[in-house]
Amino acid sequence: MRIREATPDDLAEIMAITRELAVFEELEEHLVATAEDLGRALFGPQSVITVSLVVDDDGTVAGHALWYRTFSTFLGRPGIWLEDLFVREPYRRRGYGRALLEHLRSLSEGRVEWDVLDWNATAIAFYEGLGAKPVVGWTKFRWT
């Protein structure tokens, strides 16, 4: 297994994993982004996101972490917002998710944060097993 940053040649795989994530989360109807949209956000002149890919020994993309930099005024340090973490079904329970999160942790002296769907007990147990904790007292707002 190795972790590497995505390149424009990975766009089709990134889009495929994004579709797989939408199906898994039962949110397919909300996936309106196109490969072109993701390509601009990832590799355009004003790119805002990064994708770290976990690649199996045979060269197959087993999963990815899609993330962007944040900043905490209270810590006075940059952090990372993990937008998507997804490991494809055949590659789960091999340490790939942990490896992706440890990779992100190594890229920030601040905090790494993310959301998890409240019904996803497997993911919650996995995150808690790493030592991550839910943020009590905060409610997410969204203005669309």
**Domain carrying residue 29:** 2-130
What is the pLDDT of the chain when averaged over all its residues? 95
Q: Residue 59's closest CA among 9, 104, 121, 132? A: 9
Establish if 144 belongs to a structural domain.
Answer: no
- 31-81 residue pLDDT tens: 999 999 999 999 999 999 999 999 988 899 999 999 999 999 999 999 999
Establish if 30 belongs to a structural domain.
Answer: yes
Q: Would you name the residues annotated as active-site residues? A: 127
d(CA 137, CA 123): 21
Please report, for the domain that includes residue 23, its CATH number: 3.40.630.30
Q: Residue 39's closest CA among 30, 51, 27, 28? A: 51
Q: Residue 60's closest CA among 42, 38, 80, 87? A: 87
pLDDT at residue number 139 = 85
Whether 140 shows a pLDDT value over 90: the answer reads: no
Establish if 42 belongs to a structural domain.
Answer: yes
pLDDT at residue number 144 = 83
Establish if 142 belongs to a structural domain.
Answer: no
d(CA 139, CA 115): 11
Establish if 76 belongs to a structural domain.
Answer: yes
Q: What's the count of helices (H) and strands (E) in the chain, helices before strands?
A: 4, 5
Establish if 37 belongs to a structural domain.
Answer: yes
> Chain centroid to CA 123: how far?
13
Number of domains forming the structure of the chain: 1
Mean pLDDT of 111-138: 94
